[in-house]
Amino acid sequence: LKDQWEIDPEELNLGQEIGSGQFGLVLEGKWKDRKVAVKMVREECMSDEDFKEEATVMMRLSHCKLVQLYGVCTQRSPMCLVFEYMESGCLSDYLREKKGNLSLDLMLGMCLDVSEGMAYLESSNFIHRDLAARNCLVSKNNEVKVSDFGMTRFVLDDQYTSSQGSKFPVKWSAPEVIKYSKFSSKSDVWSFGVLMWEIYNEGRLPYENRTNTEVVESLNAGLRLLKPRLAPDSVYLLMEWCWKEKPEDRPSFALLLHELAAFSDL
C-alpha cells in the first residue's frame, strides 16, 4: 500500500459500535479531529491482498456524492478501512423511519444525489456492482451518498458473490448479470432503477413476497416492478428505461442526471 494511504494506528481512536456488515463490525471513531466510520475487516471475510492492490484506485475516487474512503490501517489486526462518517445511517433504514413524512422534493433530491455520484463513477470507468438503498448513506443534512462501490469483488462468501448464491442481490441485478455475470455501468443503471423504486416506496423491499427464482421468471416474461404510488409518471418512465432488457437501450448516468435535474427545476 502506498504510504500516503496508510493510516497510523496512533492517530486513529476507536469508539462505539454503529453497525455490522459483510466484512465485520463498523465502529465510530476519530482520525485527525475528524469523525470517521471504521470497518474492521475480518480476515476470513475479505481477500486482503486483492483489496490492498485496488485500495489506491478507490481512495483516488473523490466526489461529494460518494462516501469517501480516507485510508486503510493495515498495521492493525484486523485491518481497518476508514471512511467519511455519515450521521444518519443507511438510506433504506432512513426511508423506513421517515415513512409518511417524505416530500416529493426530498425523494427527487435523493435520486439526484445518487445519480450525481454514479455519473462520476461512470465517468471514472468504475463499476459499483451492488447499488441499492442499503448501500447508500445519509448525512446530517439529508444528503445521500453512494457507498461500498466495488467492494463485492473482495467478499469471500460464495453465497454472496455467485449469482446462484442465497445472498446474491438478484432483485437489484440486471438480466445479463444474473445470466452471465456481465457487470457494466449499464448494469449499475438497472440497479439504480430499483433504487429509485425503493425511494418512492419509502424503503419497501422490491418483490417482497417473491423468491429469487420467481423474480427471474417474471423478468424473463418481460414483467417489471410496478409504479410506486408516490412516483410521478415522469419518474416511473425513467425507472422503466433503466430496466430495458438490452444494456445499450438503457440511459447512461450522465443522461439520467440531466433528466432528473430537469424535473427538479419544474
Work out how close the CB of 122 gets to ligand ADP at its nearest, in angstroms, rounded to a whole number.
21
Do the annotations mark residue 182 as ligand-binding?
no
- Can you read off the three cell numbers belonging to residue 136? 447508500
As measured in angstroms, the least distance from the Cβ of 31 to ligand ADP is 12
Angle between the 185-200 and 104-123 helix axes, to the nearest 10 degrees? 170
Task: Encode 3-37: b = buried (16+ Cβ within 10 Å), e = exposed.
Answer: eebebeeeebebeeeeeeebbbbbbbbebeeeebb
Window contacting ligand ADP (CB under 6 A); options: 49-57, 83-91, 113-121, 163-171: 83-91
Among residues 51, 196, 214, 34, the alpha carbon closest in space to that of 112 is found at: 196
Binding mask 85-124 for ligand ADP (x = CB under 6 A): xx--xx----------------------------------
Asked if residues 172 and 206 have their Cβ atoms less than 8 Å apart, the reply is yes
Alpha helices in the chain (DSSP H): 48-60, 91-97, 104-123, 158-161, 175-180, 185-200, 212-220, 233-242, 253-265
Q: How far is the CB of 209 from ligand ADP (least distance, A)?
A: 24
Check residue 3 and give left, alpha or beta (phi > 0: left; psi -120 to 50: alpha): alpha
CB 188 within 8 A of CB 131: yes
Residues 150-189 contacting ligand ADP, CB under 6 A: 151
Stretch that binds ligand ADP, among 19-27, 186-194, 236-244, 250-258 (CB under 6 A): 19-27
Please state the closest distance from residue 112 (CB atom) to ligand ADP, in A. 20
Longest pairwise C-alpha distance within the chain: 57
Output 9 or 89, the one with its CB closest to ligand ADP.
89
- Our answer to whether residue 8 is catalytic in this structure is no
Residue 137 lies near ligand ADP (rule: CB under 6 A): yes
> Which of 21, 78, 109, 232 is close enough to bind ligand ADP by CB under 6 A?
21
| DSSP helix/strand/coil, 17 | strand
- Grid cell listed for 257: 442526471
Q: How far is CA 240 from CA 20, 98, 263, in A?
A: 33, 26, 16
What is the total count of residues that contact ligand ADP (CB under 6 A)? 20
Select which of 33, 93, 130, 265 is catalytic: 130
- The nearer residue to ligand ADP, 91 or 238, going by C-beta atoms, is 91
Beta carbon nearer to ligand ADP, 122 or 130: 130
For ligand ADP, give the closer residue by CB, 18 or 254.
18
Q: Interface residues with ligand ADP (CB under 6 A)?
A: 18-23, 26, 37, 39, 67, 83-86, 89-90, 137, 147-148, 151
What positions carry a catalytic annotation?
130
